[in-house]
Amino acid sequence: MDESILKLKGDENKIKKIIEIFNAEKNDEFFLKNNRIGRIFVPATGNVDAKIALIGEAPGRDEEKLREPFVGKAGMNLNYVLEKVGLNRNELYITNIFKFRPFDNEGKNRKPNAKESSRGLFYLKKELKVINPRLIVCLGATAASTLLGKSISMRSSVNQLFSLDSFKVLITYHPSPFNFNRKELQQSIIESFQLIKEIVNQI
């Protein structure tokens, strides 16, 4: 793992453990032999001592290029929401279920399939155990369904708190341009992050 690309801060022992997890994940034969994903590993970013962990599904082209989650158009939308509700991105821990870019036969981004998500989840759980956030926020149905191990209906699950082992999990819409360009969903995302601030202050 090229540690020079990492944008992590906080407890050095935690960072060391996270790097060990990333090295194991990056060199997992399941990923190395998969010819439908990119070869660039996109690690998490942010504060390893964060109270809030944001989880997306997988990196896209922009994320692959910069080796950082949520730096494309969805990332710009996320930054807008964080600024609007007064959350500092640098004080959050931001990661993905799957840390390689999945692509289709035309080279376009796609969602990770069930096997890919399952293998990514194996490492993500190790990652979360180290970070130990007060609240996990799933950005979208793919992240939520994978993490919670069941089918998720966004309409009925948004802003609902779930339990996962010792963690509290909240679900919100993904800040993708498709969602963010719909005013009602954009407002829902903003309301979710306002709620996130309230929840973290209470637990």
21: domain CATH number is 3.40.470.10
Q: Which residues contact 63 (CB under 8 A, 6 or more apart)?
A: 42, 69, 70, 71, 72, 75, 101
Query: pLDDT tens, position by position, for the chain (203 residues)?
Result: 777 679 999 999 999 999 999 999 999 999 999 999 999 999 999 999 999 999 999 999 999 999 999 999 999 999 999 999 999 999 999 999 999 999 999 999 999 999 999 999 999 999 999 999 999 999 999 999 999 999 999 999 999 999 998 899 999 999 999 999 999 999 999 999 999 999 988 87
pLDDT computed for residue 128 by the predictor: 98
pLDDT computed for residue 174 by the predictor: 96
Name residue 167's beta-bridge partners: 164
* Distance from C-alpha of 8 to C-alpha of 76, rounded to nearest angstrom: 20
Q: Are 141 and 152 in contact (CB under 8 A)?
A: yes
Name residue 64's beta-bridge partners: none
- Inter-CA distances, 74 with 49, 77, 160, Å: 24, 5, 22
Tokens of 63: 């994320």
pLDDT computed for residue 202 by the predictor: 84
Structural domain span for residue 151: 3-202
Tokens of 7: 């944008």
* Distance from C-alpha of 183 to C-alpha of 62, rounded to nearest angstrom: 25
Length of the chain, in residues = 203
pLDDT computed for residue 112 by the predictor: 95
Give SS3 for 26: helix
Residue whose C-alpha is closest to residue 196's, from 17, 53, 37: 53
In total, how many domains does the chain have?
Answer: 1
* Distance from C-alpha of 203 to C-alpha of 112, rounded to nearest angstrom: 32
Look up the pTM and report it.
0.96
What Rg, from alpha-carbon coordinates, does the chain have? Answer: 16
- Inter-CA distances, 80 with 77, 98, 103, 189, 192, Å: 5, 24, 27, 11, 13
pLDDT computed for residue 5 by the predictor: 77
Residue whose C-alpha is closest to residue 92's, from 5, 203, 197: 197
Q: In the 8-state DSSP scheme, what is residue 169?
A: E
